[in-house]
Structure formats: structure tokens, C-alpha cells
Amino acid sequence: MKEPRLVIGSRRRCDNDGRFYTVKTETHRFCRDACRKAFHRYGSPFLQLRTCIQREVELAADAIEFRLFAALDGGAQARYRQANPKRAGRFDEQLEEVETGQGRKSA
Ligand SMILES: [Zn+2]
């Protein structure tokens, strides 16, 4: 994907660390050389952050859904299993782990 040309003399945020700088050429995207090198070596830090946040949100949503599933009665769990067989299978395994884990602790 080709990046759009920048306006020389305008202020913008560095693609690597988000600091403000003044654009000197149409392809000048970093506040300093270290940022340019870091960006090309490690990729976009914002992309990494976004991926990391997305993963954490998914994990948290999964944990909440598992708690709701565990709180359902047998009939409602059966209906959930029909609607989401894959997820329910994972939740069943998690429930088993929780139960056997507690069993070992109390024994
Ligand atoms: Zn920078």
C-alpha cells in the first residue's frame, strides 16, 4: 500500500512514537532517525498495541461469557450448546477443570 504524500512544513505526529514534528519532505514520517530505524526494524508500535488490546478484550469477553454459561441452569446450557457448539465445548472443558481443581484442593 502506498502512503499518501505529506504537506511540507505541516505539523504531524511521528508514525513511531506519536511526537509532533514539522514535515520536511513529502515522505518524512518520523520525528527523528531513531524512530525511522525502530519503525522499520520492529514495525508499527500502534499496530502491535492494537493487536495486544484486541487480544485482551477477547480474553476478557470470553471469561465473562464463561461465567454466564457456568451460571446457567441445565436447560439453558443445553440451548447454548446447540447455538454455539464450539464455544460450549470449550466452556465444558473449562468447567471440568474448575470442578476437578476444586476437588483436588478440598481433598
Ligand atoms: Zn518519533
How confident is the model at residue 107, as a pLDDT? 42
Digitized pLDDT (tens) for each residue of the chain, 107 residues in all: 577 899 999 999 999 999 999 999 999 999 999 999 999 999 888 888 889 999 999 999 999 999 999 999 989 999 999 999 999 999 999 888 888 876 455 44
Q: How far is ligand 1, taken at its centre, from the CA of residue 31, in Å?
A: 4
Rounded distance from Cα 52 to ligand 1 centre (Å): 21
Residues in Cβ contact with 101 at an 8 Å cutoff, skipping those fewer than 6 apart: none
How far, CA to CA in Å, does 97 sit from each of 43, 102, 104?
39, 8, 11
pTM of the predicted protein model? 0.56
Distance between CA atoms of residues 98 and 3, nearest Å = 50
- Going from the Cα of 55 to the center of ligand 1, the distance in angstroms, rounded, reads 26
CA of 16 to the centre of ligand 1 (A): 5
pLDDT score recorded for residue 59? 95
CA of 67 to the centre of ligand 1 (A): 43
